[in-house]
Amino acid sequence: MGKVIETTFRVRYAETDASGVVYHANYIVWFEHGRGEWFWQQGRDYQRDVEGRGLNWPVVEVSARYLAPARYGDCVMVRTWLEQVESRAFTIAYEILNAETRQVLCTGWTRHLNVDRDWRVAKLPDDLRELMQG
């Protein structure tokens, strides 16, 4: 497991369904939030350091396992870390917890490819691989 980044926020009403439980797709949005914080907290800017170099990291696969519901007003924590890095792809893992009780609500991962301006798979630049491998 690489460096773990944690970010905490409160569940907004718009993220819940009619029963007051967080709608399942919002956990994927929270994965993205955690991924962005993972990059920011290492002193990097995705727009400058990845897109500014003509690269993109599209999500090509996602997995989520829902263990317990989050509800409106709950304080949740997203824990994010690099699970695996390869020459042209990497996997980031997530754990979403109730920040107050520490109950795990959801676990998952996203797999990303490194692609160039023409959306061709490309080797990850050495400096970004080094950042990821920490």
Q: How many Cα atoms sit within 13 Å of 96 on the Cβ side?
A: 31
Pair type for strands 89-98 and 75-85? antiparallel
CB atoms within 10 A of CB 52: 10
Residue whose pair of structure tokens reads 């924590």 in the numeric block: 77
Torsion of the alpha carbons at 128, 39, 59 and 119, rounded to the nearest 10: -40
Tokens of 28: 């994927």
Coil, helix or strand at residue 113: strand
- Active-site option among 17, 45, 116, 127: 17
Is 17 among the residues known to form the active site? yes
Q: In whole angstroms, give the CA distance from residue 91 to residue 81.
A: 9
Catalytic machinery residues: 17
